[in-house]
């Protein structure tokens, strides 16, 4: 008895598991299908006019989207929600925080919206007005770790239907949504209900009637006592069929026209951004050329200062000494190319002699010993070098500079007695 009961229980559990999997799959299929119909309805009716909360089609679409985001959501209670109820807004708040310029913080700061469900409904409206619903959902789906934290296995957000959902939501960018959330109290207590009746209408053409159905309809029309077998099936004439085809073509044209307008607007935006970048690039090139010209002018000015200082040093050297005369002849050649750079000096010399290359005004340097390559130590000119000027010339109201003279070194004291 007990041995026969175990296989029966296992078979019952297996069949129950299969039924549960089938029910979940049917739920996913129903929600995705009705969402596709709802998006098509919005695109067909509201491509030219803005849509608001008064539209029954939008109310139904918002209910469908809320049911999709809540499908197989984990846990009814959340300790970090203000109302204690855990909803899809808690998932959106975390998964969409990486979206640039997102609206999550603005919805969190709304004073008239307190519950998690109301914040989720407000987010749906704001995302539609921003035309970024598909971007938000795509970014959230890429965060698989957070998605698995909030959804059970079999949820739409964890299956391939989520990719179909993001593709459908792209078309909503062609519609202008207009909602006023300021001062409005969003209903966060009443659950939403989907209205399936607009998508369950069925019209069968006369061409698709079988022979038995056609013969039965003819017999029922000739008999007064019999009732029609299919009273809801209308007989569509050729004129009605052509009219329906024309209506479908018109609806497709409106959708394509709306998408074309959206793409043209996107192209215009990219073109304006490209023009701005080209103008910025041109401005930076002009700035670079100006800096290069300025550097060349400063380089030539510094070379002129070096040549002038060399001429002054050459005039200060007396010609009685043969060695100094020979050195004076050698200094006729400019030493511009031999001028030492700061990079070739060691740490001590770089710190002390760097003052020589700093200018305060025309032909003026900081105080410091001027050292040139090729001169002995006793011929170096200490102090600030003076620029040769015209005698009697004043600079900034000062007295004429005296002519610098080279003083001979002091004689050494005679040696004392050993």
Given a contact cutoff of 8 angstroms between Cβ atoms, the answer to whether 130 and 100 are in contact is no
pLDDT digits (tens, 9 = 90+) for 403-418: 444 455 555 555 555 4
Residue 176 has pLDDT above 70, yes or no: yes
- Give the distance from CA 185 to its chain's centroid: 32
Three-state secondary-structure class, residue 27:
helix
Per-residue pLDDT band for 310 (boundaries 50, 70, 90) equals confident
| Domain range annotation of the chain | 23-198, 303-379
Per-residue pLDDT band for 316 (boundaries 50, 70, 90) equals confident
Instruction: Among 26-40, 97-111, 322-336, name the one with the lowest average pLDDT.
Output: 322-336
Q: What is the mean pLDDT of residues 241-262?
A: 87
CATH of domain 23-198: 1.20.58.900
Residue 325 has pLDDT above 80, yes or no: no
* DSSP symbols for 241-293: HHHHHHHHHHHHHHHHHHHHHHHHHHHHHHHHHHHHHHHHHHHHHHHHHHHHH
> pTM for the whole thing?
0.48
Distance between CA 106 and CA 110 in Å, rounded?
A: 7
Given a contact cutoff of 8 angstroms between Cβ atoms, the answer to whether 172 and 36 are in contact is no
Specify the pLDDT at position 321: 63
Specify the pLDDT at position 230: 39
Using alpha carbons only, give the angle 274, 276, 279 rounded to the nearest 5 degrees: 110
Specify the pLDDT at position 365: 42
Describe the chain by its helix, strand, coil percentages, rounded to 5.
60, 0, 40
Question: Locate tokens 């001590």: which residue?
Answer: 348
């Amino acid at each position: 008895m007990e041995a026969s009961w175990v296989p029966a229980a296992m078979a019952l559990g297996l069949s129950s598991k299969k039924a549960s999997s089938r029910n979940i799959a049917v739920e996913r299929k129903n929600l995705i299908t009705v969402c596709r119909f709802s998006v098509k309805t919005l695109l067909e009716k509201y491509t030219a006019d803005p849509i608001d909360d008064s539209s029954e089609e939008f109310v139904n679409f918002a209910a469908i989207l809320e049911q999709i985001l809540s499908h197989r959501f984990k846990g009814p209670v959340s300790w970090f929600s203000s109302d204690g109820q855990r909803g899809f807004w808690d998932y959106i708040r975390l998964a969409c925080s990486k979206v640039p310029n997102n609206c999550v913080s603005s919805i969190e700061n709304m004073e008239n919206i307190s519950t998690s469900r109301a914040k989720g409904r407000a987010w749906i409206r704001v995302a539609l007005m921003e035309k970024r619903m598909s971007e938000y959902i795509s970014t959230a789906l890429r965060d698989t770790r957070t998605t698995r934290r909030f959804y059970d296995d079999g949820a739409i957000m964890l299956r391939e239907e989520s990719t179909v959902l993001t593709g459908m939501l792209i078309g909503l960018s062609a519609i202008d949504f207009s909602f006023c959330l300021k001062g409005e109290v969003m209903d966060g207590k009443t659950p939403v209900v989907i209205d399936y009746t607009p998508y369950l209408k069925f019209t069968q053409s006369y061409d698709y009637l079988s022979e038995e159905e056609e013969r039965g309809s003819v017999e029922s029309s000739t008999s007064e006592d019999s009732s029609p077998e299919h009273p809801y099936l209308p007989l569509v004439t050729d004129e009605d069929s052509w009219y329906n085809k024309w209506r479908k073509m018109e609806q497709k044209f409106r959708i394509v026209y709306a998408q074309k307008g959206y793409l043209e607007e996107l192209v215009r935006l990219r073109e304006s951004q490209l023009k701005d970048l080209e103008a910025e690039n041109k401005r930076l090139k002009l700035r670079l050329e100006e800096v290069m010209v300025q550097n060349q002018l400063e380089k030539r000015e510094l070379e002129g200062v070096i040549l002038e200082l060399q001429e002054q040093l050459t005039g200060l050297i007396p010609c009685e000494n043969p060695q100094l005369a020979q050195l004076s002849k050698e200094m006729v050649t400019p030493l511009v190319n031999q001028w030492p750079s700061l990079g070739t000096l060691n740490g001590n010399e770089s710190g002390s002699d760097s003052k020589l290359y700093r200018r305060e005004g025309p032909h003026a340097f900081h105080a410091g010993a001027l050292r040139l390559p090729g001169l002995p130590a006793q011929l170096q000119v200490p102090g600030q070098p003076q620029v040769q000027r015209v005698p009697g010339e004043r600079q900034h109201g000062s007295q004429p500079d005296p002519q610098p003279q080279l003083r001979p070194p002091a004689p050494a004291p005679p040696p004392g007695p050993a």
